[in-house]
Chain A
Amino acid sequence: MAQNKPLIGKLLLVTLAMFGFGFALVPLYDVFCDITGINGKTAAVAATGDNAIVDTSREITIEFLARPNKDMPWVFKPEVHSMKVHPGEIHIMNYLAENPTGRMIVGQAVPSVSPGQAALYFNKIECFCFSQQQLAGGKDMLMPLQFYVDPALPAQFNTITLNYTLYDVTQAWAAQQPQQDNIGE
C-alpha cells in the first residue's frame, strides 16, 4: 500500500533520531554538568584568580582526599588532610606521588568535589590533574595544586571536600605516543 510508505519513513526517522539522541546525551550531560556543576566535576582548565577579593570574614575548611584506583600501584596522598582558607585566598597544596614499581607509569588524576554544587566555586589556577604525570620506577615527586575558593560561594557551604582518584593511563599514553598531547588541557 503506497500510503504506508511516508508514514514508515517518518517512523524510521524517529527511530534513527532517538538512536542519535542516546549518544547526544553524552555531550549534553557534560554540558549540563559543566553549567550546573552538579556532578562535582571541577573545571578542567586553569582559573586566573587575579581579581579575586579575599573575604576574611569567612573561613572554609577544605578536606583533601586522594586515592589510587585499584589498578594503580602508586602511593598517592596529600601533604595535609585539611586546611582552613578564606574565600579568595590563593593556596598551594602538594600531593606526594611515589612509584614503587620498577617501570615507568603514567598517571591521570580525576578530581571530584563534594558537595557537588560547590564544585563551580572551587577554582584551580594550576593543577597536576590538568595533564598526565609520568613517573619512572622507584621515583617519587611532589605534585602541586594551586587553588582558591570563589568568594561567591553560597553561605550554606563551610566545608568542601576535594577528592582525587588517580588512574594508570600508561597504555593509553603509549598508544598515542607520536602525537603526545595533554588530554586534560
Chain B
Amino acid sequence: MSVVITEPNDHEQHDHEHEHHDHKPAGIKRWLYTTNHKDIGTMYLVFALIMFFIGGAMAMVIRLELFQPGMQFVEPHFFNQMTTVHGLIMVFGAVMPAFTGLANWMIPMMIGAPDMALPRMNNWSFWILPFAFLILLLSLFMPGGGPSFGWTFYAPLSTTYSGDSTALFVFSVHIMGISSIMGAINVIVTIWNMRAPGMTWMKMPLFVWTWFITAFLLIMVMPVLAGVVTMVLTDKYFGTSFFDAAGGGDPVLFQHIFWFFGHPEVYIMILPAFGIVSAIIPTFARKRLFGYASMVYATASIAILSFLVWAHHMFTTGMPVFATLFFMYATMLIAVPTGVKVFNWVATMWRGAMTFEVPMMFALAFIVLFTIGGFSGLMLAITPADFQYHDTYFVVAHFHYVLVTGAIFSIVAAVYYWLPKWTGNMYDETLGQWHFWCSLISVNMLFFPMHFVGLAGMPRRIPDYALQFADFNAFISIGGFLFGLSQLIFVWVLIKCARGGVKATDQVWEGAEGLEWEVPSPAPYHTFETPPVIK
C-alpha cells in the first residue's frame, strides 16, 4: 500500500518553490492558520504542558486538604470537583494531547513524509481543544460548581445528583472526542499512505507502530464515550431512562458502556509510551532493539485484549461468577504481551554500551515503575482480592504508577530525547538530571505509600480520613508538593533550551538511528519534500 508522494518531474519545481515557502505569517496568525505538522505538534505539546500544570495545581489542592485529617481548606463539594476535573484534565488535556503532539512532530519525520496527510483537519483538531477545556474549566465557576462526580461520571451521580455544569461537561467531552478522532484518522491516513518508498510496514519505527494501533483504538472507543455522555445528557435533561431504574433503565449499564470505552482508553495512554521507550533504550544501549517483530505483535495483542477486559473495573457490582472469572483471566492474559515488551527492553540493554543521559534515565525509570504499576494491576485483577482493594487508595496508587511514572515519564523522556532535534540546542544535562532525580524520589514518596493506606482501607475520593492514616498522608502530601515543584525545573530546562545552548549535531545521540536523525538540527520547517531512499 505504500505510495510515492511526489511525481519525479515535479521535484525541481517543488524544491524551488520551497525556498520562498519557508516564510510563514508572523505572530499569532502563524499559529492560528498553520497546517505545518511541526507547528501543530509544538502547539499540542505546549498545550499539554499548560494543562499538566493546571491539573497539577488541582492535585496540590487535593494533597493540601489531605495533609491532615479533618476539614482544613476546602469544602467537600469543592474537593470532589478537584478530583473530578484533575482526572479529566490529566487524561484528556495532558497525556492524550502530549502524545498527539509527539505524533505530529515525529511520525512524518520517522516515515519520510513531508507532512501529515490531512493538514487542514490537523489545524482544526488542535484548535477546538482549547475551547473544550475552557468550557470545562469555566464550569467550575458556575453556581453549584463544576462536575463533581469523578472523572468516571457514574450514573446516577452524573444524572440524578449532578448540577447544571453537567451540560457543559458533556459538551466539552464531545469536543475533546471529536478532536481525538480527527487526530487519530490523520495518523492512520498518514501512516497508511505517506510512508517513503521502501518504508515497509515491518521497517516502521515502533513509535509509529504503537501510534498506528493507538489511533485505531481511538476511533473505536471515543465514539462510544461520545455516546455515553450523550445518554447522560438526555437522561438528565430530556427525560430518557437509559440509566434510571424507575424508567426501566439500569445504572450498571452505564458502567458497562463507560468501561467499554474506559479500558481501551488506558491503553491509548500507554501504547505510545511503549513506542517511545522502544526508541530510547536502543539509542542509549547502542544496540538494535531486541525482538522488533514480537514488539509489534505484542502491541497488537494488547490492543485486541483491551476490548475484552472492561468489566474488571466492576467486580463489585455483583456479576455472576462465570463473568468475573472470564474478566479476571482475560485481564491476566494482558500481562503476557506486556511481559514480552519488558523482557525485550531488558534484553536490548543486555551487554549494551549504555550511557545514562536524561532521556535514558526517564526510560529506565519507566520500565521499573511502570512494571510496579503493572503488578498492582495484576493484584487488582484477582476478583476476590479486588473486593478489598476496590475504591481504595490502592487503586489510586496503581493507576498513578502506570499514568504518572508510566505515561508522563515516557512523555518527559521523549521531550528530552527529541528536544535537541526540535530546537537545535542541547538541553542542560545537569539541570535535566536534577529534574530526573527530584521527580523520581518525590513521585515514589507520593504514590508508593498509597499502596499501604489503600490496603489498610482508606477510601479514595473522600476529603477526610480516619486518624490512623494521618502520618502516611502527611508524607504523601510532602511527596506531592515536591513532585509538583520538581516539574518547575522541567519548565526551566525547556525555556533555557529553546533560547540557546550547545548546538546539537544532526544525529544528536551517538547511537540514534532513524530518519528523524538524518535531517538537520533544528529540523527545518519542511522536511522530506523529496522522499528519502530507504535501504
Shortest B175–chain A CB gap in Å is 15
Chain A, range 159-183, C-beta contacts under 8 Å to B: 165, 167-169, 172, 183
Q: Does B346 contact A (CB under 8 A)?
A: no
Q: Which of B5, B220, B227, B253 interacts with A14 by CB under 8 Å? A: B220
Contact status A19-B185, CB under 8 Å: no
Contact status B245-A167, CB under 8 Å: yes
Given contacts A22-B257, A110-B245, contact A4 B117 (CB under 8 A): yes
Instruction: Give 1 or 0 for each of B349-365: 1 = CB within 8 Å of chain A CB.
Output: 00000000000000000
Q: Which of B185, B227, B252 interacts with A39 by CB under 8 Å? A: B252
Q: Does B335 contact A (CB under 8 A)?
A: no
Q: Does B242 contact A (CB under 8 A)?
A: yes
Q: Whose C-beta in chain B lies nearest to the C-beta of A112?
A: B245
Q: Does A155 contact B (CB under 8 A)?
A: no
Q: Which of B223, B245, B247, B250 interacts with A22 by CB under 8 Å? A: B223
Residues of A within 8 Å of B33, CB to CB, are none
Contact status A172-B189, CB under 8 Å: no
Given contacts A7-B188, A16-B223, contact A38 B246 (CB under 8 A): no
Interface residue count for A (Cβ, 8 Å)? Answer: 37
Given contacts A18-B223, A19-B227, A22-B226, contact A8 B257 (CB under 8 A): no
Contact status B250-A39, CB under 8 Å: yes
Interface size class of B (residues with CB under 8 A): 35 or more
Q: Which of B3, B5, B250, B320 interacts with A116 by CB under 8 Å? A: B320
Q: Whose C-beta in chain B lies nearest to the C-beta of A184?
A: B248
Chain A, range 1-41, C-beta contacts under 8 Å to B: 1, 3-4, 7-8, 11-12, 14-16, 18-19, 21-23, 25-26, 29-30, 33, 36, 38-41
A116 to B438, CA, bound (A): 51
Residues of B within 8 Å of A12, CB to CB, are 185
Q: Which of B5, B189, B219, B323 interacts with A38 by CB under 8 Å? A: B323
Q: Which of B3, B188, B227, B318 interacts with A23 by CB under 8 Å? A: B227
Q: Which of B239, B246, B261, B319 interacts with A110 by CB under 8 Å? A: B246
Contact status A165-B256, CB under 8 Å: no
Contact status B117-A25, CB under 8 Å: no
Contact status A22-B228, CB under 8 Å: yes
Contact status A4-B118, CB under 8 Å: yes
Contact status B223-A15, CB under 8 Å: yes
Shortest B261–chain A CB gap in Å is 8
Instruction: Give 1 or 0 for each of A29-73: 1 = CB within 8 Å of chain B CB.
Output: 110010010111100000000000000000000000000010000
Residues of B within 8 Å of A1, CB to CB, are 5, 117, 193
Q: Does A99 contact B (CB under 8 A)?
A: no
Contact status A8-B118, CB under 8 Å: yes
Q: Does B260 contact A (CB under 8 A)?
A: yes
A166 to B5, CA, bound (A): 66
A165 to B256, CA, bound (A): 22
Contact status A167-B253, CB under 8 Å: no
A80 to B107, CA, bound (A): 70
Q: Which of B181, B222, B247 interacts with A172 by CB under 8 Å? A: B247
Chain B, range 211-265, C-beta contacts under 8 Å to A: 219-228, 231, 239, 242, 245-248, 250, 252-253, 256-257, 260-261
Tell which of A22, A25, A168 has the most Cβ of chain B within 10 Å: A22
Chain A, range 78-125, C-beta contacts under 8 Å to B: 108, 110, 114, 116-117
Residues of A within 8 Å of B231, CB to CB, are 23, 26
Q: Which of A4, A15, A117 interacts with B181 by CB under 8 Å? A: A15
Contact status A18-B224, CB under 8 Å: yes
Q: Whose C-beta in chain A lies nearest to the C-beta of B239?
A: A172
Q: Whose C-beta in chain A lies nearest to the C-beta of B215?
A: A11
Contact status A4-B189, CB under 8 Å: yes
Residues of B within 8 Å of A30, CB to CB, are 250
Residues of A within 8 Å of B260, CB to CB, are 22, 25
Shortest A14–chain B CB gap in Å is 5
Shortest B442–chain A CB gap in Å is 40
Q: Which of A18, A26, A40, A167 interacts with B219 by CB under 8 Å? A: A18
Shortest A1–chain B CB gap in Å is 7
Given contacts A11-B188, A12-B185, 20 further A-B contacts (CB under 8 A): A3-B3, A3-B193, A8-B189, A11-B185, A11-B189, A16-B223, A18-B224, A19-B224, A19-B227, A22-B223, A22-B224, A22-B226, A25-B253, A25-B260, A33-B250, A39-B250, A114-B318, A116-B318, A168-B246, A183-B248
Interface, chain B (partner A; CB < 8 A): 3, 5, 117-118, 181, 185, 188-189, 192-193, 219-228, 231, 239, 242, 245-248, 250, 252-253, 256-257, 260-261, 318-320, 323
Closest 3 CB pairs of A and B: A22-B227, A167-B246, A19-B223
